[in-house]
Amino acid sequence: MPHLPVDALAGKIVIDANNYYRLRDGVIAELDTGSLTAGALFQRYVPGARTVKTFNTIYFEHLVSLARPAGSADRSALPLAGDDDAAKQSVTALLNRLGYDSVDVGATTESWRIQEGSPAYVLPYLSDPRLPWPQDPGKPAGVKEIRTALEQAGSSS
């Protein structure tokens, strides 16, 4: 992230799909203590960009297999967070074209609700949480289920 092209991304919508895994990424104290969200850390590296955090809560193969046309009964939803409402609207339109409804989590400071380990993180899209993700065929999770998962994150904090 320190090598991102700050000037080229200024004013652009940038989708942040990143997650923080301390064993993979090294220890980042502010993320471990919760004083900073991973989304806010990403924003620091691209200060002029219109950052929207999404795609981070779904295993990449499920992102493909669970896509459905608008109006399908088994359409899934993805949560998104960010500080720029117009950017979030554009990303919502993109998700719709890709086969997903969306749920607005709120500002980047609220993106802890969709970080690794939260109820909205990966689990809603798994048919059996005991399976390794690549072996799980995936399960649709609609707007209502994702909203409930986001609320559960709030009640356990």
CB of 53 to ligand NAP, least distance (A): 10
Mark residues 85-114: x for contact with ligand NAP by CB under 6 A, - for none: ------------------------------
The strand pair at 13-16 and 50-53 is best described as parallel
State which of positions 35-64 bind ligand NAP (CB under 6 A). Answer: 55-56, 59-60
Q: What is the DSSP string of 87-113?
A: HHHHHHHHHHHHT-EEEEEESGGGGGG
Calpha distance 30→92 (Å, rounded): 29
Shortest distance in whole angstroms from residue 61 CB to ligand NAP: 7
CA dist., res. 140 & res. 135, Å (int): 16
Asked if 9 is part of the footprint of ligand NAP (rule: CB under 6 A), the reply reads no
DSSP secondary structure code for residue 124 in this structure: G
Of these, 19, 90, 96, 152, which contacts ligand NAP (CB under 6 A)?
A: 19
Q: Which residues bind ligand NAP (CB under 6 A)?
A: 3, 17-19, 55-56, 59-60
